[in-house]
Structure 1
Amino acid sequence: MISKTIYDLYMDYSIHQWPILSSFLLILSFIVVPIRTQIEQEQLQLHSVHVLMRHGDRTPTHFYPNDPFQDVEKYWPEGLGELNDHGRLRIRFAGEYYRKIYDKFLQDTNGWPKQCLSSPAHRAQETANLFMESFLNNTKFSVEVHQDGKMLSTGVKCPLHDHVWLQQMNSKKVKEYLDSKRNYIDYLSEKTGQNYWLNESNTLRNMEFLTTTLEIERDEYHLSVPEWALNQTIIKQLDDMKRHAFWFDWQPIEIQKLRIGLLLNNITEHIRTMATNDNNDLDKNDQRFFLYSAHDVNQVILLQALELYDQIDRKPPSYSSAIVFEHYQTLSSMTKDTKHFIRIIYRQIFNKFIPPKELSKFYVSDRILTMNSCHDEFKNEKLCSFEEFDKITRPLRILNEQEWNAECFEMNHITDQIIANQWIIILTLIFTIMMTRYYFVIG
């Protein structure tokens, strides 16, 4: 619009009224038009997609002592902690939906997935297989699902994690929060038959387990839970404790690095490989869609580490939700320069309705998340340059399994050193006492 206005001025006044100004405006119009054209022709193109997805709906993993639904064969024939029918339906829908929105991109690039990574948990592996079966429907492609516990499971033994977590659970802020809920926890201990104060370090996590079990029994399976579990005040308090359990559990930076460092590095290096090669250098068959099948805790840790958790109201992710990293590149037809950007999407798949004992339909909700620490000229577009993303995530990344082992088991080395130092002190004291007695006798 600017160049057109200048050109109009030139045509209207250049010959008769503004001979000097008209010459200036004519020159300026030739400068502005190419700039405008360059911006218009700099297009954003999708380059790769990385999806960290939570598994589908599942059966409980824990029961409380007075739980009336502990008969696994009767109430949970799939087994404990396994996908249920509704979860399988939701995952299949997810596969269809992702195929729909990324189909053209994959057709154009032939970047179909060849393998995906999963937590060792069976529900996560089944989620990956069902998703890919639906995602690749009517194609000739198939996918191998590989387990990676250190990357995608928080249950893999890590002494440093345990040490930091125990310090966190014994911190003043956690104890003050638990004290504020003492009356409710006492009440729930009485009703459930479980003493939640027996090991105070695990109190908050056990409250989260109780909350999730009741949500499954009451809200999804519509079982006749005890009357106290229907009380709205109790439901509200349990929900608050569940949120705080997720918030406190994974808040320490050391834990965040140990539990999502390998994942962040995997995503970043995939993007870097594509960003450092132009389209001509990339193999036409290079994989451009990557799935990581995991758990809500993986997503919470990642969101906390990237300072995005507040943008989803610190609410634990729902079943089949995903954190999607879309990698874009811009290509200018004028300069032939390419730039690379990341967009982060929190994608949820909700039930449209859940009539008792009936399977529901679904709808999708996308929320674009903005990294507040990412400062570049495209922030208003909710994009982060790859250079900035790389810089921000660098302190959180772990390069490989060897580095993970070294950091995780650092606590063992510290403990060994403490024990060694204690023995040195003891032996020194013994030697000092013996020498003192010796000189006393000689004297």
Structure 2
Amino acid sequence: MAGGGRSGFLSPLGLLLLISGHVLSSVLLAQAHRLRFVTVVYRHGDRSPVRAYPKDVHQESAWPQGFGQLTQIGMRQHWDLGQALRARYKGFLNETYDRHEIYVRSTDVDRTLMSAEANLAGLYPPQGAQVFHPNISWQPIPVHTVPDSEERLLKFPILPCPKYLKLQEETRHSPEYVNKTRENVDFMQMVANNTGLSDCSLESVWSVSDILFCESRHNLSLPSWATKEVLQRLSDLKDFSFRFLFGIIEQEQKARLQGGVLVAQILKNITAAARDAANGLKFIAYSTHDTTLGALQMALDVYNGKQAPYASCHIFELYEESPGNFTVEMYFRNDSSQPPFPLTVPGCAHRCPLQRLQSLLDRVITKDWEKECQLSSPVNDTEVMVGLVACGCILFLLIILLVTVLFRQKSQTIAYQHVSDVGEEQS
């Protein structure tokens, strides 16, 4: 009875073990699924059109800063995105700007550089000692870039690349492209007549859609022919032109030459962070274009078939689940009124193990981009063999001819008899 009565109590050692177990479980739980590294790829904000069509009444003078420039709407969009990133990574990123933990790179284009700056203004409003003027709630933060002629990471399609151009020519002969052209030939002719464009094809009509979209967004009058139905059809063709660039046929091969280049760099950065080789870097931001996001998402095979909207943002997050065990999660923010929605690479769960993700994406990563971009020789193996045999036969005949000539010369030397002409002269 005495033993049974004591069974309801823990000895001091048992109590200590129980408390230790709870503490250890709490520590492990806190360490599980710990955010370690973030990469974001975003499109610039709202802009003016990059050009006007010949008959457009709104030429470059209609836009305060001219064509292709970030508008004040676009500035606010990226300030909002910066604020959203600040809220999402509260506790992960330092409350104030720390140059060691963030790196921002942009294409060398006004609208992407300015978008990155507006984004950083929302992400890192100055506090305390970082306030350099009492009336300015902004601080300068570096945005890195390379000359446009040297850009081989963030602007697509990357050219020159002969193999990619050959794939595009093959795409133009694909059934889907041919049928799409046939279905819209009269429509595109109507657009050409009304815009004054001499070239209006599936690959160029996107610009008309873009111009009319920009004008309508900024309350500029649209021509009478640009009805709601016409605008929708133009928008659909614009989306098709993005698929033409990076898909329709040979999507994987195109990805190796285009979006896979960016995928490879992102994975390289993530892997370095997992190995603690990022030197304190926690966050990389790439300020880019709609074609960049299209190429990236086509390579990842998560593209939804629609042009990425202004200030949309593709997010990669690296988590450490346990020591040495890492996963990657992806999200896409394409609506400022909604939280980012999850993206999943086919063949893996949303919370994808890093090694599994690397294995799945290896198919779109080339080891030597310059070499793979080159066209293979049009001469096939059979032609090579025939050429070698022919050369061999000619060489053999030449050797036989040479031996024959040498043999005849030797024979003539042995048979020669000198006849003295002294006696004839004396006679």
Give the corresponding residue for 2:345: 371
- For the 8 Å contact 1:49–1:326, the answer to whether it is kept is yes
Mapped partners of 1:143, 1:368: distance in 2: 30
Paired residues, number: 352
Match of 2:109 among 115, 121, 124: 121
- For the 8 Å contact 2:192–2:198, the answer to whether it is kept is yes
Give the corresponding residue for 1:78: 65
Give the corresponding residue for 2:207: 209
Q: Does structure 1 residue 321 correspond to structure 2 residue 320?
A: no
Give the corresponding residue for 1:150: 152
Match of 2:289 among 259, 279, 295: 295
Going from structure 1 to structure 2, the CA distance change for 1:282 and 1:49 (only over 3 Å counts) comes to closer
Mapped partners of 1:126, 1:414: distance in 2: 45
Mapped partners of 2:354, 2:81: distance in 1: 27
- For the 8 Å contact 1:300–1:316, the answer to whether it is kept is yes
Mapped partners of 2:274, 2:377: distance in 1: 40
**TM value normalised by structure 2:** 0.73
Map 1:272-283 → 2, pairs under 5 A: 272-277=271-276, 283=279
What amino acid does structure 2 have at the position aligned with 1:91? H
Moved more, 266-275 or 138-147: 138-147
Structure 1 stretches lacking a partner, 5+ long? 1-14, 16-29, 198-202, 332-336, 351-362, 433-443
Q: 1:107, CA displacement in angstroms?
A: 2.6
Give the corresponding residue for 2:221: 224
Match of 1:330 among 302, 321, 335: 321
Going from structure 1 to structure 2, the CA distance change for 1:111 and 1:268 (only over 3 Å counts) comes to farther
Give the corresponding residue for 2:325: 339
Mapped partners of 1:159, 1:270: distance in 2: 29
Cα offsets for 1:164-188 (capped at 9, x unmatched):
1122123221011111122322221
SS of the counterpart of 1:183?
A: helix
Mapped partners of 1:142, 1:186: distance in 2: 48
Going from structure 1 to structure 2, the CA distance change for 1:247 and 1:330 (only over 3 Å counts) comes to same
**TM value normalised by structure 1:** 0.71
What amino acid does structure 2 have at the position aligned with 1:57? D
Q: Does structure 1 residue 67 correspond to structure 2 residue 56?
A: yes
- For the 8 Å contact 2:45–2:310, the answer to whether it is kept is yes
Q: 1:257, CA displacement in angstroms?
A: 1.8
Q: 1:328, CA displacement in angstroms?
A: 0.8
Q: 1:388, CA displacement in angstroms?
A: 0.9
Mapped partners of 1:404, 1:77: distance in 2: 41
Mapped partners of 2:329, 2:353: distance in 1: 9
Match of 2:74 among 76, 82, 87: 87
Q: 1:37, CA displacement in angstroms?
A: 5.5
Q: Using the aligned pairs only, state the percent identity.
A: 22
Cα offsets for 1:267-308 (capped at 9, x unmatched):
11111122234xxx875xx11100111111111122122221
Higher percent of residues as helix: 1
Mapped partners of 1:329, 1:168: distance in 2: 42
Match of 1:385 among 345, 353, 366: 353
SS of the counterpart of 1:297?
A: helix
Give the corresponding residue for 1:267: 266
Q: 1:226, CA displacement in angstroms?
A: 0.5
Q: 1:61, CA displacement in angstroms?
A: 1.3
Structure 2 stretches lacking a partner, 5+ long? 5-17, 131-139, 395-427
Give the corresponding residue for 1:190: 193
Mapped partners of 1:152, 1:42: distance in 2: 34
What RMSD, in angstroms, separates the aligned Cα atoms of the two structures? 3.3
Mapped partners of 2:81, 2:30: distance in 1: 34
Structure with the greater alpha carbon radius of gyration: 2
Give the corresponding residue for 2:172: 169
Mapped partners of 1:193, 1:241: distance in 2: 19
